[in-house]
């Protein structure tokens, strides 16, 4: 008897028929004699509908209350899925964050899991029940409900799999797995059969929406093998695992594009110690992640820098507010905002030993007349910022360049 | 500085505009320097929509999962109302059953409150916040969510008012107060200014939907004065209070009708000790309340009785199932079900000293040719079962007979 953790995203439970379909998949596994802990996201568009409702009610949306509001989506889907599993012939029980024992920090809307007390889950499984866990949420020490950020149900599933030492962790989604590029952009993109945690972490960070970044981090940390697969067919998907389990160490594993980027430039920042710290410190204090930072060298005698960087579009309103305040306080003279950018990246662990990747990439884009505005690299990825209108073309060029 | 408990029903928060209106009423009270603990029901038809969704997903609806599902309606409305109060200029925090410390027994879908630990509420109020409480729900010792039955938010409000020793407990609803009859049936019905707990308990039990029965019980037990009033105007409504606070001790305070009744008759029940106990015991075990019991005397030599009684229509499917099983086991030969009945009642604490009420009532209905099928009485009420089609006519006759 093995313990399966199975996570079903919002598109997998978008309507009544799909909920029943998911219930049947769960029961199939149980019928083979296994224990099942299913983690479920909110039904289809529920989360967006709740956000819309909040927008109508108030412009002031305390994060604590937003978390409480949005967490109801997963409570609803977990209760409904438990009923569907009962209908399909197995006993089931729906558990919410508090009952699941998922304790988080106090960072509402993007909380981090501090620990999981799996006693209640173990007791229910031992009693022969299928456990349906509400994904995406946790509770603070003070019993306030938190959420784990968009895609947080992935993290719920992987963290539960780690805490309960599950034998399998399956992430069911609306695509067949992780691809070498988005098939909507590059029709010849291929499904990746196995991928290491590090590469997957880069892909997830760079706009591949198949799996939440934190879920990959947790999987890596606790060495949870994750199987990303479709909830609409029974094909095998992509296995995310330790790099020693991945046969080939390729130069470039995949090409990604992230259009969810806003670039800010703070102009004429005084070139004295601590100014960059002030700007990025203020953003960090509001939990805003910053990427692709460029600081121009001081050229004039008055020693002023332009500092430019990107943030995720969900954070751009808050970043704008923060930066406006800083400019008023004299950290720079002016702020410009650019929404028309996209980050195109290539990721591959083999890059470590093949220094030519960057050269080939710059050359190929240059020959196509695509201007590279910013570059950032890590050991296993190269990202470039291009005009959003040229993003898809860039992806196609690179996918073909690296023979994916 | 006084503490106001204000409960707003689903129709008071049916849409965004009404939520904002409620927020303003709350802020008005806070602006006068008072503390406010608002209790809120689910928005408009949310509860019915969730039930509909469950019906589509599964015919098997464990009560525990139904409670979890339905409780989300009040969580959503409490979070939204907290945001609306913030928008209206005051700090607010939404609390769910667990945070409110409302502990109940294990009777899912109609749980009873065992106790309230108001520490968190007191802390939030002391911090200058308006507390928005999700009504209708509690938690068991085991952290499972329960609900308090239809109209349960009334009970939440009164119980919180008792636990926190509130100065005022206001129940905001879509009518102006408690009336001598339903104004939709009897246009000349008058609003009752003050009414004693005992009379109100009878009225609530007999189909007056202004206030949940348990809310009145709790108010009576803890001597909480309750003010039932409209959320759409500022008129005073009806004060429910100790009978010593009600000036006039009238013969008949109000006439009610309850069409939400199903009459079951179990035919040819063996006339031996324990048979009635078996039937009513089986119903009680499933928490089904039974009313207006009639047992016909044995007339034939084989000593068989017909036993007839009414149950609330929400319980009729479950009652039918229970009774079918009993008939199969030999408790009677046959079961008949009658949905076309209505219970018409007159209530008044003065009845104790005026024995003529019953005679006048029977005579008046008789003269109008309305057949009385069953009678039940208490010290302060008389109920008769009539054909549902004659119910409104009966109410009009009695309202006029007793000069209300």
Residue-range domains of chain A with CATH: 3-174 (3.40.1160.10)
**B 78-97 → A contacts, CB under 8 A:** 78-80, 82-84, 86-87, 93-94, 96
0.90 surpassed by pTM: no
Nearest CB partner across the interface for A60, out of B54, B64, B83: B83
Q: Is B57 on the interface with A (CB under 8 A)?
A: yes
Task: Tell me what pLDDT residue B305 has.
Answer: 81
**How do the pLDDT tens digits run along chain B, 404 residues long?**
899 999 999 999 999 999 999 999 999 999 999 999 999 999 988 999 999 999 999 999 999 999 999 999 999 999 999 999 999 999 999 999 999 999 999 999 989 999 999 999 999 999 999 999 999 999 999 999 999 988 899 999 999 999 999 999 999 998 999 999 999 899 999 999 999 999 999 998 887 888 988 999 999 999 999 999 998 899 999 999 987 776 666 788 899 999 889 999 999 888 777 888 888 889 999 888 888 888 776 555 567 788 899 998 889 999 999 999 988 888 888 899 999 999 999 998 888 777 788 888 999 999 999 999 888 888 888 999 999 999 999 999 999 998 87
Chain A residue numbers with beta carbons less than 8 Å from the beta carbon of B46 are: none
Q: Which residue would you say has higher pLDDT here, A350 or A69?
A: A69
Q: Rounded to a whole number, what is the distance in angstroms from the first to the last CA of chain A?
A: 39
Task: Tell me what pLDDT residue B248 has.
Answer: 66
Q: Is A15 on the interface with B (CB under 8 A)?
A: no
| Mean pLDDT value across residues A142-169 | 95
Q: Find where tokens 């954070």 sit.
A: A315
CB contact under 8 A, A99 and B143: yes
How many CB atoms are closer than 10 A to CB B126?
A: 9
Task: Tell me what pLDDT residue B300 has.
Answer: 58
Q: How far is B322 from chain A (nearest CA, A)?
A: 21
Nearest CB partner across the interface for A58, out of B56, B71, B87: B87
ipTM higher than 0.90? no
CB contact under 8 A, B68 and A58: no
Quote the strand ranges of B58-215, DSSP E. 92-95, 102-104, 113-116, 130-134, 137-139, 145-147, 168-173, 194-196
Chain B residue numbers with beta carbons less than 8 Å from the beta carbon of A62 are: 82-83, 86
CB contact under 8 A, A62 and B145: no
CA angle A273, A277, A278 (to 5 degrees): 100
Q: Please give the interface size between A and B, counted as residue pairs whose CB atoms are below 8 Å apart.
A: 109
Nearest CB partner across the interface for B65, out of A66, A94, A145: A94
CB contact under 8 A, B62 and A16: no
Structure confidence by residue, pLDDT tens digits, A271-293: 777 888 888 889 998 888 888 88
CB contact under 8 A, A57 and B143: no
Of the CA atoms within 13 Å of residue B386, those in its CB half-sphere come to 25
Chain A residue numbers with beta carbons less than 8 Å from the beta carbon of B71 are: 75
Which residues share a beta bridge with A263? A310, A338
d(CA B230, CA B175) in angstroms, rounded, equals: 5
Instruction: Report the residue of A13, A18, A22, A58 to disrupt the B interface, i.e. the one with the largest count of B CBs within 10 Å.
Output: A58
Listed in sequence order, the residues at least 6 apart from B317 whose beta carbon sits closer than 8 Å to its beta carbon are: none
Of the CA atoms within 13 Å of residue B8, those in its CB half-sphere come to 31
Which residue in B has a C-alpha nearest to residue A61's C-alpha?
A: B83
Chain A residue numbers with beta carbons less than 8 Å from the beta carbon of B62 are: 82-83, 86
Structure confidence by residue, pLDDT tens digits, B145-174: 999 988 899 999 999 999 999 999 999 998
Chain A residue numbers with beta carbons less than 8 Å from the beta carbon of B96 are: 68, 145
Q: For chain B, what is the total number of helices (H) and then of strands (E)?
A: 12, 20
| Mean pLDDT value across residues A329-338 | 89
Pairing outcome for strands A254-258 and A341-347: antiparallel
The answer to whether residue A340 scores a pLDDT higher than 80 is yes
Q: How far is A62 from chain B (nearest CA, A)?
A: 7
Q: Find where tokens 């050269």 sit.
A: A359
């Amino acid at each position: 008897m093995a313990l399966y953790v199975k996570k079903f995203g919002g598109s997998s439970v978008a309507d009544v028929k799909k909920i029943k379909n998911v219930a049947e998949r769960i029961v199939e596994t149980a019928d083979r004699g296994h224990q099942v802990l299913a983690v479920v996201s909110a039904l289809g568009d529920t989360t967006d509908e709740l956000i819309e409702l909040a927008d109508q009610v108030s412009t002031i949306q305390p994060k604590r209350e937003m978390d409480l509001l949005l967490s109801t989506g997963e409570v609803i889907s977990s209760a409904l899925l438990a009923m569907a599993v009962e209908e399909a012939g197995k006993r089931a029980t729906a558990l919410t964050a508090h009952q699941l024992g998922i304790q988080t920090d106090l960072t509402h809307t993007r909380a981090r899991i501090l620990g999981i007390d799996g006693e209640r889950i173990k007791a229910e499984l031992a009693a022969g029940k299928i456990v349906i866990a509400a994904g995406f949420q946790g509770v603070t020490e003070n019993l306030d409900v938190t959420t784990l950020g968009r895609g947080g149900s992935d993290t719920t599933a992987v963290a539960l799999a780690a805490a309960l030492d599950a034998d399998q962790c399956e992430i069911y989604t609306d695509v067949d797995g992780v691809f070498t590029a988005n098939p909507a952009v590059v029709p010849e993109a291929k499904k990746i059969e196995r991928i290491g945690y590090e590469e997957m972490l880069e892909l997830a960070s760079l706009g591949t929406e198949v799996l939440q970044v934190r879920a990959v981090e947790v999987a890596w940390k606790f060495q949870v093998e994750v199987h990303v697969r479709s909830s609409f067919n029974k094909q095998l998907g992509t296995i995310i695992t330790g790099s020693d389990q991945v046969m080939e160490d390729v130069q470039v594993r995949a090409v990604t594009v992230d259009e969810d980027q806003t670039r800010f430039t703070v102009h004429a920042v005084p070139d004295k110690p601590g100014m960059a710290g002030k700007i990025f410190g203020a953003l960090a204090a509001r939990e805003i992640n910053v990427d692709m930072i460029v600081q121009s060298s001081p050229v004039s005698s008055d020693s002023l820098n332009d500092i430019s960087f990107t943030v995720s579009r969900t954070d751009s309103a808050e970043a704008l507010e923060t930066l406006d305040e800083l400019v008023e306080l004299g950290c720079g003279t002016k702020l410009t905002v650019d929404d028309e950018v996209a980050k195109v990246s290539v990721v591959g662990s083999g890059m470590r030993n093949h220094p030519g990747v960057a050269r080939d990439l710059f050359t190929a884009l240059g020959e196509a007349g695509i201007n590279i505005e910013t570059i950032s690299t890590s050991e296993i990825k190269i990202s470039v910022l291009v005009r959003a209108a040229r993003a898809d073309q860039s992806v196609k060029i690179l996918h073909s360049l690296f023979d994916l």
